[in-house]
Chains A and B, each alone.
Chain A
């Protein structure tokens, strides 16, 4: 029974991994470049949400929680666009790995900046800054199963975001343009699609999704820290390699899967083992199916 409880928690929380990984894979799909600052974008957005919640007394107001969420999403989009401007635009014609380095540098700068801020700004705390929310102590039982309210909210919000993204990519003109640039940037230009505008759109959307994930994770943990993003980036790497890079649907499913594995391992063995188990699975998948589980599905993009 307890294992089932862990599995459900993991599944629900894993939706945040899906969100992080989807944003990362979207940017990779369009630019063919890794945005290492994606995790830092999430961290900054989580701080933005936490700040709103602290300042407005969000411990028992759902309205403040919604404001914090919106704040995180907007902060994510803004940070993402700045990351693009600083780490990607100047290196458009440089070697493919150059933005890997510059975006990693941006991530380090943001982490150091927030480490510094947590020491200076009175409402932040040095180790972990509180993210007050009315979901903190919400919980209920389904039969004998204990389910945290925060996890359920996370799951539902994440599913809504993923559904919207799916609809956007497959049923709108701008979504069609994004998929065209993903497959062949030169041809997209020849069809009259401005590749730079698509880049801006995708960076804003992917980073806004990271912002949403940052808020949800902050609410679930009840706190944020400057290194929140780097841990999540590592997990989303695992998600992406499992899914096959470029597969949005695969990233959704594998995020949930990784959530389950992590939580069940942490609950039944120990929380130190969870990364080890994750990487053993990663290793096994790479040996058996190096292109990723969903690499074939990526080509149909349904």
Chain B
């Protein structure tokens, strides 16, 4: 589905990503783990078009994404849920959800997806008229994911969905992420919480200083001695 080759990208003169190769197949849940500053967020921002790569390829089903604007990439079904939740705090929960479907004109399906999102996260249904800024961190993360789903994604990219959220809610969020995958959405997840990310994923990549240092099936990486020392702290 997504094919990334020799990707070099960053801000200014110093590339954050150095020759990254990565592949995501239809229906997979792929995790990218690595410490702060490894280039995980830049990877997602490059795929979603917020960062223009200086060289290399990003293609989706053979189509070049590097020349498209972010809104065009969203229209292709690639939806990026950014780090730190980034819900629109001055809008209601409902408005946040509806704006997630900004690119869509199939009103009936949007309405169905709205009901489905609230089914997945009942708390959002209860808070539907509230300003998003009044939600707790965990609720905002749920809203951010639900908003991403409103875009009818083929590929959903999640940046640090567990960051700064109470452990009990993190488990709940990971459960929902698996449900989303089961519903047929391909997922690329970036996480510092490597244990949880590997447990949830089909395949994974370890990123350090902008380069892929390990990759393979997630359970193989969980057992890999190097990965365990470097990323799991075991």
Which residue of chain A lies nearest to B157 when distances are taken between CB atoms in the complex? A190
B91 neighbours in A (Cβ, 8 Å): 176, 179-180, 183
Residues on B with beta carbons closer than 8 Å to the beta carbon of A190: 48, 50, 70, 74, 79-80, 82
> Is A299's CB within 8 Å of the partner chain B?
yes
Q: Does B1 interact with chain A (Cβ within 8 Å)?
A: no
A3 to B191, CA, bound (A): 66
B133 touches A187 (CB 8 A): no
Would you call the interface of chain A mostly helix, strand, loop, or mixed?
Answer: helix
Q: Determine if B74 and A192 form an interchain contact, defined as CB atoms under 8 angstroms apart.
A: yes
Instruction: Give the docked Cα–Cα distance between A300 and B88 (Å).
Output: 11
Is residue B151 within 8 Å, beta carbon to beta carbon, of the partner chain? yes
Contact of B88 among A187, A189, A194 (CB under 8 A): A187
Verify if A193 is at the interface (C-beta below 8 Å from B). Answer: yes
Question: Per-residue CB proximity of A182-203 to B under 8 Å, as 1/0?
Answer: 0110110111111000000000
Which A149-179 residues have C-beta < 8 A from chain B?
173, 176-177, 179
**A184 CA to B133 CA, complexed, in Å:** 13
> How many pairs, one residue from A and one from B, have CB atoms within 8 Å of each other in the complex?
62
Asked if B196 is at the interface (CB within 8 A of a chain A CB), the reply is no
Cβ of B22 under 8 Å from chain A: no
With A191-B74, A191-B147, A194-B71 as known contacts, state yes or no: A177 contacts B48, CB within 8 Å: no
A173 to B103, CA, bound (A): 10
Report if A299-B133 is in contact (Cβ < 8 Å); known contacts: A179-B90, A184-B88: yes
Residues of chain B contacted by A186 (CB below 8 angstroms): 50, 82, 86
Segment at the interface with A among B93-101, B121-129, B165-173, B203-211: B93-101
The chain B residue sitting closest to A170, CB to CB, is B95
Greatest chain B CB density within 10 A among A173, A176, A179, A192 is at A192
Q: Is the CB of B88 within 8 A of A183?
A: yes
CB neighbours of B80 from chain A (8 A): 190
Chain A residue nearest to B89 in the complex (CB): A183
Q: Which of A275-302 contact B (CB under 8 A)?
A: 299-301
Would you call B135 an interface residue if the criterion is a C-beta within 8 Å of the partner chain's C-beta atoms? no
| A191 pairs with B151, CB closer than 8 A | yes
Q: Give the shortest distance, in Å, between A175 (CB) and chain B (any CB).
A: 10
Partner of B99, one of A177, A189, A194, A299: A177
- Chain A's closest residue to B103 (CB) is A192
Name the one of A184, A193, A194, A300 contacting B86, with C-beta atoms under 8 angstroms. A184
Task: Across the interface, name the chain B residue whose C-beta is closest to A176.
Answer: B99
Q: Does B131 contact A (CB under 8 A)?
A: yes
- B6 interface contact, C-beta 8 A: no
Query: Hey, what's the 0/1 contact readout for B58-100 against A, CB within 8 Å counting as 1?
Result: 0000000000011100110001101000101111000100111
Docked-complex contact B102 and A193, CB < 8 angstroms: yes
A187 touches B86 (CB 8 A): yes
B70 touches A189 (CB 8 A): yes
B131 / chain A contacts, CB cutoff of 8 Å? 300
| Interface residues in chain A, defined as those with a beta carbon under 8 Å from any beta carbon in chain B | 173, 176-177, 179-180, 183-184, 186-187, 189-194, 299-301
Closest 6 CB pairs of A and B: A192-B74, A192-B103, A189-B70, A194-B71, A192-B102, A187-B86
5 contacts between A and B (CB under 8 A): A183-B89, A184-B88, A190-B48, A191-B74, A300-B90
